[in-house]
A and B are shown apart, each in its own frame.
Chain A
Amino acid sequence: MKNGLLFIIFWLLACPLAWAQLPNGNPVPPNLVEGERLFRLHCARCHGIEGAGGEGSNLARPVLKYGSDHESMMTIIGDGIPGTGMPGFWTLDPVQTAWVAAYALTLGELEEETLPGDPERGAKIYQSNGGCPACHIIAGHGNGIGPELTFVGDQRGLEYLRNSLVRPADAQSQTSGYQNYLTVRVRSASGRVEGLRINEDAFSIQVRDVSGKVHSFRKDEVREIEKIFSHSLMPEYGTTIPALDIDDLVSYMMSLRSEQ
Chain B
Amino acid sequence: MKNATALLFLLCALSVQAEVSFDRIVDAADDQDNWLTHSGTYNSERYSPLKEINTDNVEALKVIWAYQIQPSANGGDGLVETTPLVADGIMYITEPPSTVTALDARTGKMIWTWSPDMPKDVLHIGFPRVNRGVALLDDAVYVGTLDARLVSLDAATGAERWNVEVADNKVGFALTLAPLAIENKIIIGVSGAEAGVRGFVDAYDSATGERLWRFHTIPAPGDPGSETWQGDAWQTGGGSTWLTGSYDPDLDLLYWTVGNPAPDWNGDVRPGDNLFSCSIIALDPNTGELNWHFQFTPHDTHDWDANQIPVLFDAIFNDEDRKLLALANRNAFFYLLDRETGEFLHGNEYSKQTWATGLDEAGRPIVIPDSEPTYDGNLVWPSLQGATNWFSPSYNPVSEQFFVATRLMGSIYYKADVEYEEGQPFLGGGEQALSGDDAAGAIRALDVMTGRQQWEFMLHSPPWTGVMATAGGLVFGGSNEGNIFALDSATGKSLWDFQGGGAVRSNPMSFAVDGKQRVVSTGGRTMYVFGLE
Contacts of A48 in B (CB 8 A): 430-433
Near A by CB (< 8 A), chain B positions 453-509 give 457-460, 479, 481-483, 485, 494, 497, 499, 502
Contacts of A55 in B (CB 8 A): 385, 433, 435
Contact present for A201 and B479 (CB under 8 Å): yes
Contacts of A90 in B (CB 8 A): 120-122
Contacts of A84 in B (CB 8 A): 77, 79
Report how far A201 CA is from B79 CA in the complex, Å.
Answer: 20
A185 part of interface (Cβ distance < 8 Å): no
Contacts of A220 in B (CB 8 A): 494
A32 to chain B, nearest CB (A): 17
What is the interface residue range for chain B against chain A?
A: 35 or more
| Chain A contact residues, majority secondary structure | loop
Contacts of B194 in A (CB 8 A): 45
A211 part of interface (Cβ distance < 8 Å): no
Contact present for A201 and B481 (CB under 8 Å): yes
Report how far A49 CA is from B77 CA in the complex, Å.
Answer: 24
Contact present for B75 and A40 (CB under 8 Å): no
Which of A53, A182, A202 contacts B435, CB < 8 Å?
A53
Near B by CB (< 8 A), chain A positions 14-59 give 40-42, 44-45, 48-50, 52-55
A83 part of interface (Cβ distance < 8 Å): yes
B78 to chain A, nearest CB (A): 7
Contacts of B433 in A (CB 8 A): 48, 53-55, 177
A117 to chain B, nearest CB (A): 34
What is the interface residue range for chain A against chain B?
A: 35 or more
Near B by CB (< 8 A), chain A positions 108-161 give none
Contact present for A202 and B71 (CB under 8 Å): no
Contact present for A54 and B431 (CB under 8 Å): yes
A260 to chain B, nearest CB (A): 34
A72 to chain B, nearest CB (A): 16
Near A by CB (< 8 A), chain B positions 111-128 give 120-124, 126, 128
Contact present for B411 and A202 (CB under 8 Å): no
Contact present for B481 and A202 (CB under 8 Å): yes
B171 part of interface (Cβ distance < 8 Å): no
A224 part of interface (Cβ distance < 8 Å): no
Per-position 1/0 for B113-151, Cβ under 8 A of A:
000000011111010110000000000000000000000
A233 to chain B, nearest CB (A): 17
B416 part of interface (Cβ distance < 8 Å): yes
B66 to chain A, nearest CB (A): 15
Contact present for A91 and B439 (CB under 8 Å): no
Contacts of B124 in A (CB 8 A): 87
A84 to chain B, nearest CB (A): 7
B327 to chain A, nearest CB (A): 23
Report how far A79 CA is from B79 CA in the complex, Å.
Answer: 14
Contacts of A80 in B (CB 8 A): 75, 77, 129
Report how far A108 CA is from B527 CA in the complex, Å.
Answer: 37
Contacts of A174 in B (CB 8 A): 436-437
Report how far A48 CA is from B412 CA in the complex, Å.
Answer: 9
Report how far A204 CA is from B129 CA in the complex, Å.
Answer: 31
Near B by CB (< 8 A), chain A positions 157-171 give none
Contact present for B485 and A202 (CB under 8 Å): yes
Contacts of A86 in B (CB 8 A): 77
Contact present for B128 and A177 (CB under 8 Å): no
Chain B residues in the interface with A (C-beta under 8 A): 71, 75-79, 120-124, 126, 128-129, 194, 375-377, 383-385, 411, 414, 416, 423-425, 427, 429-439, 457-460, 479, 481-483, 485, 494, 497, 499, 502, 524-525
Can you identify 15 A-B contacts, CB atoms within 8 angstroms?
A: A40-B427, A44-B431, A54-B431, A87-B124, A87-B129, A90-B121, A91-B123, A91-B423, A177-B437, A200-B481, A202-B459, A202-B460, A202-B481, A202-B483, A202-B485
Complex A-B, nearest 10 residue pairs according to Cβ-Cβ distance, in ascending order: A177-B436, A54-B433, A201-B481, A177-B435, A49-B430, A80-B77, A178-B436, A44-B430, A48-B432, A41-B425
Chain A residues in the interface with B (C-beta under 8 A): 1, 40-42, 44-45, 48-50, 52-55, 79-88, 90-91, 174-179, 182, 200-203, 220, 227, 229
